[in-house]
Amino acid sequence: MVLVVIYFQGFQVNLTLRSKRTRGYTAPFPVKLFYTSNIPIILQTAVVSNLYFFSQVLHRKFRGNFFVGFIGQWQEFDMAGNSAPVGGLAYYISPPRDFTHIQRDPIHFVFYSLFVMGSCAILSRIWIDISGQSPKDVCRQLQEGEMIIEGHREGSMVKYLSRYITTAAAFGGICIGALCIFADVLGAIGSGTGIMLAVTIIYQYFEQIAKEKDKGQDTYIFFAASVALHEGAFRAVQPASRSVSMMAKSKALPFIEGPEHLEGMVGNVGFDPMGLSTPQNIKWMREAELKHGRMCMLAWTGYVAVDLGIKIPAAKYEALTSFTAHAATARTELFYLLLWVGTFETIGFTQIYDMVKGESDRAPGDFGFDPLKLLKGNEEQYYLAELTHGRAAMLAFSAVVTQSALPGAFGFGKETFPYF
């Protein structure tokens, strides 16, 4: 399965770019089959996971309702309360367990296959517009670098690029979905999604190392362009002498170059191994990083506080630990909390959308909240402190939840503070 994924990684169409400034200079412009890399399957997995979550919550709360049953019907299969979909939409978009299951219910397998391939194609197509990799964005970036496609004028470049980029995005998404289905059906170790992510990341490292070796050659570089997601956007390099323009090495991964669009950002250590960020979506990524960091700082504090005995004064919560509280409150408290948080997320989304589109000068994560007036004159210090603590909190919260689960799963450790 790994070899099949690597084989598909090599499919690409090379367009020829010509410089408008330097006579006779041309450069290849690769449009890969996996134009959006592994992003489609990541997004598809996120969508399905959220649907599963909402379906289980609704099934427990409103069992017997026709609409809830249409979304998904669930059945517990062990004493720990784990459940699997047995009906409704959630069942038909879940992977088949084995060949026997496919023979017994072929409609399930056909629906699942069409759903995975179709959703990956659609999400891949949407992603190129969001991430600034659409034909219009690529054409604009080429014009900024004073490059054109050989044999085409500027007016026809968008239409010409659409033939390749849009097709590669959609068909590449279908191929990624098909490979994941193939891996799941074969019963490969780990899920098909996991194999896709692992292989594509390793392959990206291999390409980075290969490019590092190529830079040792005596070559005349004017424009280096790549539309694969892990390379980000386009970088225009001015011709000077017959030498190679070297980018700064990543501090976190010193054997590869640091992403150029991260230069100057607070907290930058050149760490983006999956190549998810681009100059077009970096504000969105920083917004997400800050939001998750803030939530995890609160979550870690609350998690430990509950296990130290600080709880809501009610009989229902007296015997609960942080680990057991989720199952005990998921049907009511957490459900309404999710609706409450979702409402505020929806209200605040317009600010984030305008920021990403460049229609406002709002900084990522800035909601104007500084009641103690600590920020003025110390912006960079506090920005870096918040980012550093947020990153540490994301790791810490993941660790403390994992540690709490060890006693029930493996029989060692401690479910409450200090967790060992």
Domain borders along the chain are 2-231, 282-410
The pLDDT, as a whole number, for residue 208 is 66
- Average pLDDT over the chain reads 79
The number of residues in the chain equals 420
* Sign of the CA dihedral with 314 first, then 318, 320, and 321 last: positive
Q: Give, as one character, the DSSP assignment of residue 62.
A: S
The pLDDT, as a whole number, for residue 119 is 92
Confidence of residue 224 (pLDDT cuts 50, 70, 90): very low
**Which of the listed ranges 93-102, 212-221, 288-297 does the model predict with the highest average pLDDT?**
288-297
CA dihedral 320, 325, 331, 332 (to 10 degrees): 70
Q: Give, as one character, the DSSP assignment of residue 12.
A: E
User: Percent of the chain at pLDDT above 70?
Assistant: 85
Three-state DSSP state, 87: strand
Task: Give the residue with greater pLDDT, 210 vs 277.
Answer: 277
pLDDT > 90? residue 234: no
Confidence of residue 352 (pLDDT cuts 50, 70, 90): confident
**What confidence tens digit (pLDDT) does each residue in 190-206 have?**
566 666 667 777 776 67
CATH architecture of 2-231: Orthogonal Bundle (1.10)
The pLDDT, as a whole number, for residue 235 is 36
The pLDDT, as a whole number, for residue 1 is 65
The pLDDT, as a whole number, for residue 80 is 54
CB distance 36 to 169 below 8 Å: yes
Q: Does the model's pTM come out above 0.75?
A: no
User: CA-CA distance, 347 to 420, in Å (whole number)?
Assistant: 41
* Residues 6+ positions from 113 with CB-CB distance below 8 Å: 178, 181
* Residues 6+ positions from 301 with CB-CB distance below 8 Å: none
Confidence of residue 393 (pLDDT cuts 50, 70, 90): very high
Confidence of residue 400 (pLDDT cuts 50, 70, 90): very high
pLDDT > 50? residue 225: no
Task: Give the residue with greater pLDDT, 347 vs 73.
Answer: 73
